[in-house]
Chains A and B, each alone.
Chain A
Amino acid sequence: MHLRTNLVISVLMVVVTTLLLGVVYPLLVTGLAQALFPDRANGQLIYRAGRLVGSRLLGQPFSSPGYFRSRPSAAGPAGYDAAASGGTNLGPTNAALVDAVRARADAARLENPGIPVPIDLVTSSASGLDPHISPAAAAFQVPRVARERGVADAVLRQFVVEFTTPRDLGFLGEPRVNVLLLNLALDERYPAWGSSSPANR
Chain B
Amino acid sequence: MTAHGWAQIVVFLGAVLLLTKPLGLYLTRVFDRRRTWLDPLARPVERLLYRLTRVDETHEMRWTEYASAMLLFSLVSFIVLYAILRLQAWQPSGNPQALGPVPPFLAFNTAVSFTTNTNWQAYGGESTVSYLTQMAGLAYQNFMSAAAGIALAVAFVRGIARRESATLGNFWVDLTRASLWVLLPLCLAGSLVLVSQGVVQNLKPYDRAVLIDPQTVTTTDGTGRETKTEVTRQVIAQGPVASQEIIKELGTNGGGFFNANSSHPFENPTPLTNLLEMIAIFAIPAGLVYMLGELTGSRKHGWTVWAAMAFLFLAGVTTAYWAEAQGNPLLAADQQPSALAPGGNMEGKEVRFGIPASVLFATVTTDASCGAVNAMHDSFTPLGGMVPLVNIMLGEVIFGGVGAGLYGMLGFIILAVFIAGLMVGRTPEYLGKKIEAYDVQMSMLAVLIFPLTVLLFSAISVISPSFGTSSISNPGPHGLTQILYAFVSAAGNNGSAFAGLGANTPWYNVALGFAMLAGRFLFIVPMLAVAGNLAGKKRVPPSPGTFPVTTPLFAVLLVSVVLIVGALTFFPALSLGPILEHLMMGQGRTF
A80 — nearest CB in chain B belongs to which residue?
Answer: B234
- B37 interface contact, C-beta 8 A: no
B357 — nearest CB in chain A belongs to which residue?
Answer: A173
8 Å CB contact of B136 from A2, A22, A90: A22
A73-99 vs B: 1/0 string, CB under 8 Å?
A: 001011111111111111111110110
- Are B73 and A13 in contact, with the CB atoms below 8 A? yes
> With A and B bound together, what is the CA distance between A114 and B138 in angstroms?
52
- Are A85 and B259 in contact, with the CB atoms below 8 A? yes
List chain B residues, Cβ under 8 A from A42.
200, 202, 204, 238
8 Å CB contact of A123 from B7, B140, B264, B347: B347
8 Å CB contact of A29 from B76, B240, B343: B240
CB distance from A191 to the nearest CB of B (A): 12
- B551 interface contact, C-beta 8 A: no
8 Å CB contact of A101 from B333, B336, B500: B333
- Are B8 and A171 in contact, with the CB atoms below 8 A? yes
- A57 interface contact, C-beta 8 A: yes
B1-37 vs A: 1/0 string, CB under 8 Å?
A: 0001001100100000000000000000000000000
- A192 interface contact, C-beta 8 A: no
8 Å CB contact of A172 from B214, B275, B349, B500: B275
Q: Interface extent on B, as a size class?
A: 35 or more
- B584 interface contact, C-beta 8 A: yes
- Are B341 and A33 in contact, with the CB atoms below 8 A? no
Known pairs A63-B213, A172-B275, A174-B354; A94 contacts B333 (CB<8 A): no
A87 — nearest CB in chain B belongs to which residue?
Answer: B376
CB distance from A134 to the nearest CB of B (A): 4
A2-18 vs B: 1/0 string, CB under 8 Å?
A: 11011111111110111
B472 — nearest CB in chain A belongs to which residue?
Answer: A91
8 Å CB contact of B72 from A7, A58, A75: A7
- Name 29 A/B residue pairs within 8 A (Cβ), A-sorted: A10-B73, A11-B76, A12-B52, A12-B54, A13-B55, A13-B172, A26-B244, A30-B240, A33-B201, A75-B260, A86-B259, A88-B379, A88-B500, A91-B478, A91-B482, A92-B381, A93-B477, A97-B331, A101-B347, A102-B332, A116-B336, A118-B341, A119-B331, A124-B347, A125-B351, A134-B342, A172-B271, A173-B354, A176-B351
Residues on A close to B: CB < 8 A? 1-3, 5-14, 16-18, 20-23, 25-26, 28-30, 32-34, 36-37, 40-45, 51-55, 57-58, 60-64, 67, 71, 75, 77-95, 97-98, 101-102, 105-106, 116-137, 139, 167-169, 171-176, 180, 183-184, 187, 198
Residues on B close to A: CB < 8 A? 4, 7-8, 11, 45, 49, 52-55, 61, 65, 68-69, 72-73, 75-77, 80, 124, 126-127, 135-137, 139-140, 143-144, 172, 175, 179, 184, 187-188, 191-192, 195-204, 206-215, 217, 219, 229, 231, 234-238, 240, 242-244, 258-260, 263-266, 269-272, 274-275, 327-328, 330-336, 338-354, 357, 373-376, 378-382, 473-478, 482, 498-500, 581, 584-585, 589-591
Further contacts, 8 of them, CB under 8 A, given A29-B240, A41-B195, A135-B341: A5-B54, A14-B73, A17-B179, A85-B258, A95-B591, A123-B331, A126-B260, A128-B260
Give the top 5 A-B pairs by smallest Cβ distance, nearest first. A173-B271, A89-B500, A22-B140, A126-B263, A91-B474
